[in-house]
Structure 1
């Protein structure tokens, strides 16, 4: 039986159709991110997503979401408060619980999230040490469990490719697979082995990807998006900062972008193979025609403002590229930490294009911005506090 056969929805009864429609409406209004080139309504994207929802409803099982995300904090200190999960990740978990509760009102089995961390897929390319990725993942898993036990499963690349595998077999498999490391980071043997296994099992030939970049506008834009974003993200990393010119930095980040594209394809193929019937969502803007759908990581009810300009930089605002400001009214803003610290509302970072309304919210008269810490001293977020 092929996987497409398992998606047959021709025999579902009226009750299944009605529940599917209500659940789909909740997801559409509360979760889906509508990009500038959105095709949710125009190219069958909603229908295809609905078929996946209906598959689960017909079997009375939780809606299984697959979210490749939560890799590690950006290596750019101008963006975040540190290396480890903070208030931003907490808001993301709260947001997933909001969606789960809303769906549960119309569909009692509810939803379940499988976060497949892409931390070790890209860590050596984005300036993060493998051990830091491990620590971030462990702390995120603990945070999710403490906040809402059972809502989220958290997987790493190693879990799929190395666990319960014979070391000699793995060594033989990857013996001819060599990875480039243009950015200086500290590697661990397990993470490097998992990356090599990923490329060996699911990777594309480099020449075919280069051809796609030349011939496909979508692939070319994706490569440009990766390259442009990494030029911003790596600007304070020693591998980039020490280069003599902007042209040299752009050349390095173009290479990084190409390697990210290669690995992204392999990673996407692996996720599709492992979770063929799940609802695939992403923190990147997508046309929403399927099979991937962009989502808002932070629920709009929690936010005072959400910057559309982030989309130009290939990301819906994420916890690992931003810090959190808690405003006086209890709402939140995701901003780069440098902008919050300095009050530099125009910002030197490309995505910090705040409108006048956001500026007024952040610089509210009679209030100051203070840093809030966890009990162990780690920074959590900034908070707007009334001045004495």
Structure 2
């Protein structure tokens, strides 16, 4: 009996192409997609070559994720201004994902988490000081949960070294001057197809919801008009931010919190195992439902009788008897 033959037959394929398939299979479990079509074959066609090329370098895979800007300014949605259990769940999920990828790709994987609150602060109407506090706490949480898997960077980290010490307003001005498009060009681009229009409507909805704070005294119609205008600016800033990140961190694999088409260079991904939610940690609260956490808007949890849990003297999450994994409608 040729024992070596059977050993060879049973040994897993460790070629870059085979490893890329296994890693993409893991990512596909958590993919955010724009609709319910079964388009995994198309995703594989576009993303496997990118993964395989990165694997062939025999270095740790670096995933770049622009996200975690700041907590929503609407207290009906969140517990406060600082990271809480909602962020902890997301960071733990990303760390676990990196660990699983490391089982296939021996050099390992890490996430470069680009906290972008200072990119959008004036547009989303969150003070830069509040964003800075959020980022400090987020970095501390990431160091605690995933010291080798997650690195938190921000706008100033990505700027050219000679501009790293400029103020927040100057940093945004530099970003848009050197990496941004005009509002008219951005609007024309996003209104040209249904995918772009859907993204614009989603951002408009977030702007509208965040603006419906308890102290808002204007009309809903006025807020809707304002939200549409700010949505274009958010998209414009997001594009410029992406262009800067491409320059600052070349060779990274791009993730996104937004659904992405199969041919997009970005891969849309959820931030927890609750894959039917459209909520993010900074637009929701974590809710313990029978030992499993879900994301919900604060007002929905309170309406259902949820109880706030404090950790180290700060509100952390809710506990509720019965709920389902709720997300925002499209």
Normalization by structure 2: what TM-score?
0.86
Is 1:242 equivalent to 2:217 in the alignment?
Answer: yes
Contact 1:52–1:278 under 8 Å retained in 2: no
Query: Are 1:379 and 2:315 matched, yes or no?
Result: yes
For residues 266 and 64 of structure 1, the distance between their equivalents in structure 2, rounded to whole angstroms, comes to 21
How much has 1:148 moved relative to structure 2?
2.0
Gaps of 5+ in 2: 1-12, 323-330
Does the C-alpha gap of structure 1 residues 213 and 111 become closer, same or farther in structure 2, counting only changes over 3 Å?
closer
What corresponds to 1:355 in structure 2?
none
Are 2:221 and 1:285 equivalent residues in the alignment?
no
Taking structure 1 as reference, are residues 166 and 378 closer, same or farther at Cα in structure 2, changes over 3 Å only? closer
Q: d(CA) in 2 for partners of 1:237 and 1:158?
A: 33
1:124 is paired with a residue whose SS is helix
What is the aligned length? 310
Deviation at 1:385, TM superposition (A): 7.2
Residue deviations 1:263-288, cap 9 Å, x none? 12211222223334221111111223
What aligned pairs does 1:155-194 form with structure 2 within 5 A after superposition? 155-161=153-159, 163-165=161-163, 190-194=167-171
Choose the corresponding residue for 1:319, options 269, 281, 288: 281
The SS at the match of 2:58 is: coil
- 2:183–2:233 CA contact under 8 A, matched in 1: no
Find runs of 4+ consecutive structure 1 residues off by over 6 angstroms: none
Q: 1:39 to 1:205 in 2, by over 3 A?
A: farther
Shift of 1:371: 1.7
Tell me if 1:334 matches 2:313: no
Deviation at 1:341, TM superposition (A): 1.2
Q: CA deviation at 1:40?
A: 4.5
Cα contact 1:327–1:384 (8 A) shared by 2: yes
Equivalence for 2:115: 117
Partner of 1:125, secondary structure, is helix
Equivalence for 1:219 = 196
Q: 2:238 aligns with which of 260, 264, 277?
A: 264
Offset, 1:162: 6.2
Contact 1:230 1:257 in 2 (8 A): yes
C-alpha RMSD of matched pairs (Å): 2.4
- What TM-score results when the alignment is normalised by the length of structure 1? 0.74
Structure 1: give runs of 5+ residues left out of the alignment: 1-12, 171-189, 309-315, 344-367
Deviation of 1:322 after TM superposition, in Å, equals: 0.7
Specify which of 211, 226, 230 is matched with residue 207 of structure 2: 230
Higher relative contact order at CA 8 Å, sep ≥6: structure 1 or structure 2? 2
Identify if the C-alpha distance between structure 1 residues 69 and 374 changes in structure 2 by more than 3 Å, giving closer, same or farther: same
